[in-house]
Amino acid sequence: MEKAVQSLINSHQDNVIFQYFSDGEFKELIAATEELVIEKDEIIFEAGQEPVGIYILVEGKVAIIKMKEGKYARTLAELEGHTVLGEMALLNKRKRTSTAKAVERTVLLLLKRETLNKLLENNSLMGFKLSHNLGAALSTKVDKMNAALMQMKTQFQEFNKFKHSLFSDWDF
């Protein structure tokens, strides 16, 4: 087991994704995952792929990349541990909408979809807590996106006012 995974085990209570987990439940989660070491520039998953599961980013950095109409790649975010990636595709049961690529050597824990489903079918409290926390994390992401959109809207309105004043206040 990587030292970074041991560090995650020791500090899991500080992470919103593992909120309300007892030490035993967190050990149950770790036991249900597969440890992956991804080298720099390796692809973790690609847009259009069926999701295998969710990835807990333990150490390293991952770029989330979106293709613009097949023309060019745009980095939407760079994530560092301790966070989760791939949760939207897993929870929505849809294909991946973006690509995840390791920016540096990265350690991940993979919780496969089948494993999570079995945990939930067996009424695992840890599985329910994880599902709840993933939903809460997604809600936080949506709130941040809404705030960013509102800020962009305000900036656009200010730009439009400026543009209008440029052409209405000046006579050519």
Sign of CA dihedral 44, 50, 52, 53: positive
pLDDT in tens, 107-138: 999 999 899 889 999 998 888 988 888 888 87
How many domains is the chain partitioned into structurally? 1
pLDDT (0 to 100) of residue 18: 83
Contact 47, 97 (CB under 8 A): yes
The answer to whether residue 146 sits within a structural domain is no
- Asked whether residue 133 is assigned to any structural domain, the reply reads yes
Position 9 in a domain: yes
* pLDDT the model gives residue 70: 64
For residue 160, name the pLDDT band (cuts at 50, 70, 90). Answer: confident
The answer to whether position 159 is within a domain reads: no
> What is the chain's Cα-based Rg?
20
Strands 34-38 and 43-45: unpaired
CATH number of the domain within which 134 lies: 2.60.120.10
**Residue 66: what are its φ and ψ, rounded to 5°?**
-125, 130
pLDDT at 44: 94
Asked if residue 59 has pLDDT above 60, the reply is: yes
pLDDT attached to residue 172: 52
Domain membership flag for residue 107: yes
Domain of 101? 3-138
28 is a domain residue: yes
The pLDDT-based confidence of 165 (bands split at 50, 70, 90) is confident
For residue 2, what pLDDT band results from cuts at 50, 70 and 90? low
Is residue 83 domain-resident?
yes
- pLDDT class for 92, splitting at 50, 70, 90? confident
162 domain-assigned: no
pLDDT band per the 50, 70, 90 thresholds, residue 42: very high
154 Cβ partners below 8 Å, 6+ apart? none
> What's the pLDDT at 103?
95
Given pLDDT bands bounded at 50, 70 and 90, which one contains residue 1?
Answer: low
